[in-house]
Amino acid sequence: SVQPMPWVQGLQSYQPGKPLAALERELGIRDAIKLASNENPLGTSARVQEAISAACRSLGRYPEGAAPELRAALAAKHGVAEQQILFGNGSDEIITMLCRAFAGPGTEVIVSQYAFAAYAIAARSVGAELVQVAARDYGHDLDAMAARVGPSTRLIFLANPNNPTGTHFSSAELDAFLARVPAQVLVVLDEAYAQLMSAQDYPNGLERLPAHPNLLLTRTFSKAYGLAGLRLGYAVAHPELIALLERLRLPFNVNSLAQVAGCAALADSEHLQATLANNAVGLALLADGLQKFGLTILPAAGNFITFFTPGPAQPVYEALLRRGVIVRPLLPYGMPSHLRVSVGTPQENRRFLQTLGEVL
């Protein structure tokens, strides 16, 4: 029989939120709502949909791998050089590219306990050793992570805020951490939810780039920009680092529709503002509603809330499913007594709270 590399044998595949169509197929439920993948509840904007429709005419051609228009728009928006940006098929692809470039057998990749699952899969899939540093109050213990850096450490993944816990660290904590990490270790700062973050002390990774050649940011169009289905993410870092990663980028990794949609989404500030406004109201409503049920929530400042269930989470998750409400079970993260709920539309948020009330 065929022989995979030994580290591939033990891999656990990523378990995504249950799609609405799967619930319909499996349980025959049609009017379900999905608050399980931190997507944009307002969806893809009308302007973006129009841009995509127009671009459908040229799908017979390969996309331009470098995504020049999107690159120019994004560089201008962030005030960085065009050579500082790398696009990926979702930021997930960037995470795998980073591991291919910097990790492998005999090297260590450091993450926090409860960190976003894609880091572990990417690190282990290249044969690197994954070092999980115990969390502090469910969030990253940056002191312990910095202290754990050793001679074989190549990469550290930080998610701010972290998914699935929602916890975030402050500007001061990030700066202290960056000051401690040796220059030969690449620090990846995953800011998938940056636009949605409301916390005052939330650091902007972009401001830290000039002083730290070993820092790389990842961001995505999947959340605030509502393009999860098109798969578009990017990295921002020093040009030398980006040039290195460009060497292992698949030639046409970002498809034509994603490129066009990304440009249109960047230009549609109204949709972004509506998204942020909906999120602020929804986050407060969900936090309040969960606490009124007597449930403990983890601190949340993005577009999702992780909360303790009064016993094991799985029966609550399944009871919600049967009533057409999809949230995220966190068993794969070693959190058997928590569920994660994403902010939806006002109507979806109310339905979630009402259904949860019935289930509890």
Contacting range for ligand PMP; rule: CB under 6 A; set: 85-93, 101-109, 242-250, 262-270: 85-93
| Contact yes or no for 87/232 (Cβ under 8 A) | yes
Q: Which of residues 103-132 bind ligand PMP (CB under 6 A)?
A: 116
**Residue with Cβ nearer ligand PMP (159 or 327):** 159
Task: Name which position in 90, 166, 324, 329 contacts ligand PMP (CB under 6 A).
Answer: 90
Q: How far apart are the first and last CA of the chain?
A: 49
CA torsion 127-132-133-138 (nearest 10°) is: 150
Q: How many residues bind ligand PMP (CB under 6 A)?
A: 13
279 binding ligand PMP? (CB under 6 A): no
Task: Name which position in 190, 254, 282, 344 contacts ligand PMP (CB under 6 A).
Answer: 190
Q: Which of residues 3-62 bind ligand PMP (CB under 6 A)?
A: 38
How far apart CA 109 and CA 103 sit, in angstroms, is 7
| Cβ at position 9, least distance to ligand PMP in Å | 25
Burial pattern 101-120, b for ≥16 Cβ within 10 A else e, equals bbbeeebbbbbbbbbbbbbb
159 binding ligand PMP? (CB under 6 A): yes
146 binding ligand PMP? (CB under 6 A): no
Other C-beta atoms within 10 Å of 50: how many?
11
How far apart CA 51 and CA 36 sit, in angstroms, is 28
| Cβ at position 291, least distance to ligand PMP in Å | 24
3-state secondary structure 132-151: EECCECCECCHHHHHHHCCC
How far apart CA 177 and CA 280 sit, in angstroms, is 29
| Cβ at position 16, least distance to ligand PMP in Å | 8
The contact set with ligand PMP (CB under 6 A) reads: 38, 90-92, 116, 159, 163, 190, 192, 220, 222, 228, 233
